[in-house]
Structure 1
Amino acid sequence: MKKISALLLFVFIAFTTFSQSGSEAFTSSGSFTVPAGVTLITVEVLGAGGSGGINGTGGGGGGGYASGEYAVTPLEILAVTIGEPGDGSDEGTTSVSDLISATGGENGVSVPNPEIGGGGEGGVGSGGNISNYNGGNGGGGYYTYFGGGGGGAAGPLGNGTDGGNTIAWTGICETPGGDGGASGGDPGGNGGKGAGFTDAFCTVTDPAAVGLNYGGGGGGGNGNGGGPEEGAAGYCIIKWCSVDITTSLTGETISATAADASYQWIDCNNGNSAIAGETGQSFTALENGSYAVIISEAACSDTSACVDITSIIPENIVNAYHMMIYANPFTYQIIIQNTTGNEYYTLINVSGQVMWSGKYIAQQDFSTMISGIYFLKVRNENTTQTIKLIKQ
């Protein structure tokens, strides 16, 4: 992480865009303009489903799926291509520029009698740095009689399953056709069933079904008026987050600029481990170190730069001007030895609240203050020092 050196009483504020999040879904080709302040996007693409073939052919393959996160430049324009169903792998491809793509499923075709087959091959996801999954293959049809089921589209949960094969004609036509394959999760769709018949004489069609949602393969047709169905179109969704991770520093208190968020302060010198109980917008360091904050807003989360705290003087340590605190821990009185008489003191608690300020600290009675950790700022014409104190 980038580090920011802390100077006593120096307030560091770096301004950036306010937090924002959003998404844009595409069901037709177009372009995406990266919003101002956004440098990272999450992309999901789903290829179109293939269509079933006519006259007892196979079902169409399901579309492939891919997802990933990509660094972008604010206001950058990305080309979004949405796959068209029924036109094969290439025309069915959904892509975002050259970042990520998912090919479409192939259409079902016929095979020679008496074979069962001809299902279109499922599409393939590629370029995703989160996931890449394949659509299910279309199920096999039977020559001029029954259609195979469409393959299920891939999705964020995994590959689509293959469409079901139909059966061979045995002299009786009463069969529903092949089942549609299941998707790998939303937004991927299931494949459509293949066409069959509901009677024994091949006159009453049990029709094929379209591929569902996005990317599902269409069912194959039968040989007596039951046409094939199309696969479902491709799909793309782009999501983004931008969280204000700037901080300000006053003394030993670091404050997150973003309001109305969730916070977790971490110790950069201890493997970025969470600091127990420190979940407020501000954090006051109790000892020298390097600290940052994880800021979460809705589904967005990001981590600030580490801030170095170097101004806390350990207990009973003589500083460069030979001042020494006596005693520490204290009960009611704070005595500082080797002073010039021109010092001005400010005593604050861990929340940054000023408990007392003035010149004559040795004359003050602090017995009513609650026990805990405090910070004493000692300022003279040359410098300011901050000393950690413990009240018993």
Structure 2
Amino acid sequence: MNNEQKKGFSRRTLIKGAAAAGGLAVASSFVPYRFAIGAQAKVKVGILLPYSGTYAMLGNSITDAMKLRIAAAGDMLGGRPVEYVAIDSQMSVPKAPQNTSKLVDKDSVDFVVGPVHSGIAAAMAKIIGKRDQPIMIVPNAGSNAVTGPLCSENIFRTSFSNWQPAYPGGTLMAKEGHKTCITIAWKYGAGRQMMDAGAEAFTKAGGKVIKDIEVPFPDVEFQAFLSEIASLKPDAVFAFFSGGGAIKFLKDYAAAGLKSIPLYGPGFLTEGVAKAAGAAAEGVRTTLHYSADLDNPSNHAFRAAYEKATGKGANVFAVQGYDAGSLIVQAMAKVKGDTGATADLIKAMENANFIDSPRGPWKMSAAHNPIQNIYLREVRNGAQKYLGIAAKALEDPAAGCKMA
């Protein structure tokens, strides 16, 4: 039996079942025809995240937490069961159009959750933003363009723009008395945008960036760059790396004898890797929209549930995935499972309630990016320590977004 026959069989069976039950009013004025015949059809959630390579930890954290949130709703979305269709992005920008088209055209998903990589996010947005469906939810990639020039009614983000966690870090360096700094990051979209944001804030506050270092992505051979930093003797270093690359950078930085030069960066530099980096991470200050030790009931409950389900401690990537799941659960409940009610579904997502997010309360901006607190953290004794709010209810500029 081919796919079309399967679809036809399922359609006829549902209609016959409704008639036999005496009741599912296919033509009822209260239930849209498209929804009545598909009320029990599964809601397809497509996932395009990395499950191999440097960022595999991020992909798994996001996925596990999103599924945890949906499982808390009985694995039902607006009264319909959920089905997941996952693809390993392999952090490949060239493969992004093909992978996106597979989920959208072949698998006919209702939602696409992903990606981690900013370049992949831009490629996905160019495809999905031209359609009414599916809805795209970005649980990590901070590409400024996604909620900037590429913003669209059917694209939402539950994470951050690259500008958001980096800008307060630049301000922090200047506030703590540093006059010069070196920026260093992988040479790709996220790295460039975060370094630009940090440098913008630092120079605006009177500081000077004496060197901007770009490391080929995803190389983790840092020795030559660290030698250059040592020779230039900056007051501070502002860095962006994440996952396995962050562990290697932190260890190499310490091994190069650079611990006397304060290290700052967006929180991904130490997020989820502080324990693995050991003493090398001690004293590193970062700014991010989450800290593991935030003292609120939702965070405590989330961390306990996540650890019970996965055997691992939750990180910011898990929080972003959890809130992506919450966004879907809330919106689907509002439209009573009718994925065809696109306008109502989008409105429900725009007005979703995140008062009880583990990261603290936040809301969607007009560009569909979180307006959220950015926290100051420092690694102490192998764990993130919350030191205060670096920027309250920070909204991304959303430059170029037609909806903002």
TM-score above 0.5:
no
TM-score (norm 1): 0.22
Structure with the larger RCO, 1 or 2 (CA within 8 Å, 6+ apart): 2
**TM-score, normalised via structure 2 length:** 0.22
**Higher relative strand content:** 1
Bigger radius of gyration among the two: 1
